[in-house]
Amino acid sequence: MSSKLDYLNFLIERQNIDLSFQPVVFATSAQVIGWEVFLINPYETGYIDLKLLFDIMKENELIIKIDKIIFKKIVDVLINNKNNIENRKFFVNISPISLMNNDFTTFIASILSTNPMITKNIVFEISIKSCENLSVNDLHYSIKVLKKQGFTFSAENIGSLYFFLDFISISKPTYVKIGREVYRDIAMDSIKSKYLHSFIEFCDESQIKVIATMIEKIEELLSLLEIGIEYLQGYFIMPPNIELKHTVSNDIKELLLETIENQRRYYLFKTSKICIGTLCIKIPYVEPNVSCEKALEILEKNPKLHGLVVTKDGKVKGLIKREKFLLNLSTMYGFAVYSKRPVALLMDSNPLVVEYNASLDDVVRELSARENEDIHDYIIVTKNGMYEGVVTIKDLLKKSTQLEISFAKHLNPLTNLPGNLLIEKEISNALENEKEFYVFYVDIDNFKPFNDYYGFEKGDKVILQLASILKQIQMDWQEKIFVGHVGGDDFIVIVYDKAEVEKIAKKIIEEFDSSIPYFYDNYDLSRGYIESKNRKGEVEKFGLMSLSVACVKVVPGMFSNVEEISNCLSDVKKFCKQKNTSCYIIWEGET
């Protein structure tokens, strides 16, 4: 302890503390939106979070001194990289003890007096667990003061749920970070998955962004993306580095964009038929040479306007954003400097402009790539290149959310795969468009006795495992395949490429058969069966679970509706069930 303490004092005296930076990535666009700041371990090669030395520093009253050094170093990094940082954030672990200390807050205020703009780039990270024994009122007051100065906050290490809810209700952090202890095995744990879904929904409604940290495996990344977490951090994405890394590797970028695109396909059919133009409204527009004073008059007469479109000869040149515009004019010399000058000087020359017929889905995608848009900003709509009207981002997201909620109601709650209504819609559309396709009915043999014997939680894990296999196959074959969940252990797969049908059937069975032994105890696995009650209530021996894959070829004119296909699948499935091992049968008609 004493050697570490002496060395810490030595580092503090010389302010010789080195930092490293781990990127935080926005999944939808695969862009780095900031970096978490770590200390480089002073004792050995590697990286540590400040919290690991917390006890030593707290005992010896070193925390505030070290936090000052860290904050000053971050400010130096910001100043030295001001042309490259833009709106990216530094997530800095600062002790609540420092935040509540007058000397520390005075120190911050002195730095802000010469560098007031740094607040937009710094996010103070607070460990909720480390706050539980502190004065809540003093902490909230300190946070309130810092937020007024322009800083934002992130909560991590949630700990007590009661304290967390109390903390966010008063302090309203912008971000919440969750670690592996929260999301580990969510693909196999239905209870944890439902809890995390509810937590994300709660954060969405509270306008808090959830960041998943400590991601080390591709499976973790894919599971997190599937449940809707958009902000990601961890060694799998990129380890900490002494240099600021502004982009992720091409492999990670491709993985993120491909996975997001695949998920969005579920929503595409809902939004593709609705164009952005149907939501647009007319608002006043001005020419670039109109004076700021005149634009101010228009805004004052129309207090509900969030801005003004700037056009020349009917073509969009920019957007006056109300809040930013008024802020510029309200400074000490702002009105005197700008009032008689053209609005072009204060307009956003790169607003989001889309054509009238653009689908909601495409507009949401484009918007997602623009990380820092405000929810009240306007999306400008044009018709054949000429100004037509605007849609607020809030209205777009509201409409899109309504559609997604409507769609989500028809997803299976356990697997998040399309349920019966969407399956029927997919088959009906294929029939109407006279496509040739193949329908698989995938069913687990001996699932019910397994579920009775091992319990529904383990049964859910088997269903989730099969769903995961089918989702991965869908990712591999993309537009050639549709996957749905009828319910229980029954799934539907629709394949649109004849050449791939047998490969897919074999792949489903191979993946399932290789994973199933892990669900049995060694004793049951060694004897090759379990003993459970049958439907008559009698104890019976049941073999290990296997898979029946019944497949029917559908060509134009062969079937007139979904029910006829379903009846045919039922007949083929009976032949599959006669075998004692996993099998597939492809029925291609009486030829």
Distances in whole angstroms, Cα of residue 231 to Cα of each of 309, 368, 382 = 32, 12, 32
- Is residue 4 predicted with pLDDT exceeding 70? no
Say how far apart CA 436 and CA 434 lie, in whole Å: 7
Place of tokens 């491709």: 254
Q: Which residue has the higher pLDDT, 164 or 247?
A: 247
- Is residue 119 predicted with pLDDT exceeding 70? yes
Q: How confident is the model at residue 508 (pLDDT cuts 50, 70, 90)?
A: very high
Q: How confident is the model at residue 11 (pLDDT cuts 50, 70, 90)?
A: low
Contact 33, 231 (CB under 8 A): yes
What DSSP state is assigned to residue 250? H
53's torsion region: left (phi>0), alpha (psi -120 to 50) or beta? alpha
Which token pair is 273? 């038929």
> Given this model, what pLDDT does residue 240 score?
92
Distances in whole angstroms, Cα of residue 117 to Cα of each of 149, 217, 270 = 10, 37, 42
Instruction: Compute the average pLDDT of residues 264-283.
Output: 66
> Given this model, what pLDDT does residue 180 score?
85
Closest CA to 203 of 235, 228, 181: 228
Contact 407, 273 (CB under 8 A): no
Residues in CB range of 337: below 8 A, 6 or more apart: none
Q: How confident is the model at residue 308 (pLDDT cuts 50, 70, 90)?
A: very high
> Given this model, what pLDDT does residue 271 score?
44
> Given this model, what pLDDT does residue 399 score?
75
Torsion of CA 304, 308, 314, 315, to 10 degrees: -130
> Given this model, what pLDDT does residue 456 score?
80
Q: What is the pTM of this model?
A: 0.51
Q: What are phi and psi of 450, to 5 degrees?
A: -60, -45
Q: Which helix (H) or strand (E) holds 254?
A: helix 250-271
> Given this model, what pLDDT does residue 246 score?
92
> Given this model, what pLDDT does residue 46 score?
44
> Given this model, what pLDDT does residue 171 score?
77
> Given this model, what pLDDT does residue 505 score?
94
Place of tokens 């940290």: 213
Q: Which residue has the higher pLDDT, 544 or 226?
A: 544
Furthest CA-CA distance within the chain: 92
Residue ranges of E strands in 420-462: 437-445
> Given this model, what pLDDT does residue 591 score?
47
What DSSP state is assigned to residue 490? E
- Is residue 169 predicted with pLDDT exceeding 90? no
| Tens of pLDDT, residues 214-263 | 999 888 888 888 777 889 999 999 999 999 999 999 999 988 888 776 66
Which token pair is 31? 């862009």
Averaged confidence pLDDT in the chain: 83
What DSSP state is assigned to residue 347? S
Q: Which residue has the higher pLDDT, 170 or 93?
A: 93
Instruction: Compute the average pLDDT of residues 471-496.
Output: 88
In terms of DSSP bridges, do strands 490-495 and 481-487 run parallel, antiparallel, or are they unpaired?
A: antiparallel
> Given this model, what pLDDT does residue 551 score?
95
Contact 495, 432 (CB under 8 A): no
- Is residue 122 predicted with pLDDT exceeding 80? yes
Q: How confident is the model at residue 578 (pLDDT cuts 50, 70, 90)?
A: confident
Residue 83 buriedness (CB in 10 A; 0-12 / 13-18 / 19+): exposed
Q: How confident is the model at residue 47 (pLDDT cuts 50, 70, 90)?
A: very low
**Range name among 156-160, 532-536, 586-590 with the lowest pLDDT average:** 156-160
- Is residue 537 predicted with pLDDT exceeding 80? no
Say how far apart CA 513 and CA 547 lie, in whole Å: 8
Which token pair is 373? 């848009």
Torsion of CA 71, 77, 82, 87, to 10 degrees: -60
**Range name among 324-328, 373-377, 542-546 with the lowest pLDDT average:** 373-377
State the number of CA atoms in the 13 A half-sphere of 543 facing the CB.
Answer: 10
> Given this model, what pLDDT does residue 450 score?
92
Instruction: Compute the average pLDDT of residues 109-116.
Output: 87
| Tens of pLDDT, residues 343-371 | 999 998 888 899 988 888 778 878 877 76
Q: Quick check: helix, strand or coil at residue 212?
A: strand
> Given this model, what pLDDT does residue 162 score?
64
| Tens of pLDDT, residues 418-432 | 888 788 888 888 888
Place of tokens 């607003």: 351
Residues in CB range of 376: below 8 A, 6 or more apart: 306, 323, 392, 393, 394
